[in-house]
Amino acid sequence: MAKDECLIPEAKQELYRKLIATRPGVECKGAKSRYTSQNGHMFSFLTQEGKLALRLPEEARETLTQNDGARPCIQYGTLMKEYVLLPEALLERTADLAPWFQKSHEYVSSLKPKPTSRKKKTAKKTAKRKVKKKTKKAAKGKVKKAAATKKKAGAKTKKAVKKAAGQKKAAKKKR
């Protein structure tokens, strides 16, 4: 089995692609799992079992939960906020599901766009460079201070050595 092979049943993937086709400009993404996103926000995905999860505003989630039997989405033991897991039968009824998919897409489109991962990486690199520069400057400053202190101390000790040598010579002359 290939590393990026999708484990979702092909029939469910086909129904999902059919649903996605109802919204122009939306495309199916993902190699191992299938999902849709807009402006960096995921708004729908298929679980490994082939169940559809939608990200919706609170009122729409409540309506779907009460009328169509949707339930909160839990993945890997964690409740996914703003997502509902739809009954499998609803995925097969594209015409009934399309308005909910549209609401999900519109909801996510109204959210503030997330910065792209490239921008995030660039921002992180820039921040790291600034920290390195500050650290280098601070280290250079400490080295310069230490060198200056050492020079002063060295100058004092040279003077003291010379003075001591001069005193020894003076002491020998007196003898």
What does the pLDDT look like over 161-173, one tens digit per residue? 677 777 777 777 7
Asked if residue 131 and residue 83 are part of one domain, the reply reads no
- pTM > 0.75: no
Angle CA(138)–CA(141)–CA(145) in degrees, nearest 5? 140
Domain count, the chain: 2
**Structural domain includes residue 63:** yes
Reported confidence tier of residue 119, pLDDT bands at 50, 70, 90: low
DSSP code for 114 = P
Angle CA(155)–CA(157)–CA(163) in degrees, nearest 5? 105
Convert the pLDDT of each residue in 76-89 to its tens digit.
999 999 999 998 88
**Structural domain includes residue 2:** no
